[in-house]
Amino acid sequence: MHKTMKQISKAATAFVLSVGVTATLAPTADAAGDSVYLASYYDDSFSLASHVRFHSYDETFTVYDDKADGHGAGVQIDLKDSRGVWVLWSTSYLGTGDNTSRVFDYDIAEGRKLRFRSCVMDGAADPRPTCGPSKEATA
């Protein structure tokens, strides 16, 4: 019984740490004014499945597939419309397998607010990707 409780406690701690890391990572900035933002997706077993880094200086998103799970990785990007409502602006897909990454370059106006999230998906047109929490950023 004691061993089972220890395992449950370890799993709960891993979950809290993974959620805490995802929720508390603040952007970092360098001397050139580039802020780097991170969004991650952890699967049901608390394993990192994908993550995305956004560099504000050159508006690039680097998508990483972190797990051999039979799914590709991707990023969904939202921008605000003229009414101030977040709308899906773009989805980019990486389907080259575990332990790979790809840079997607966009032209987003400097200073524009955006929101993005890391996802696992089955193809670029997957109607229901599974995504982590959204991260707000400024281009």
Task: Give the start-to-end residue ranges of the domains of the chain.
Answer: 2-138
pTM listed for this prediction: 0.77
How does DSSP assign the chain, residue by residue? -HHHHHHHHHHHHHHHHHHHHHHH---EE-TTS-EEEEEEEE-TTS-EEEEEEEETTTTEEEEEE---SS-EEEEEEEEE-TTS-EEEEEEEEE-S-TTEEEEEE----TT-EEEEEEEEESSTT-SS-EE---EEEE-
Over residues 33-71, the pLDDT tens digits come to: 789 999 999 999 999 999 999 999 999 999 999 999 999
Second CATH level (architecture) for the domain 2-138: Sandwich (2.60)
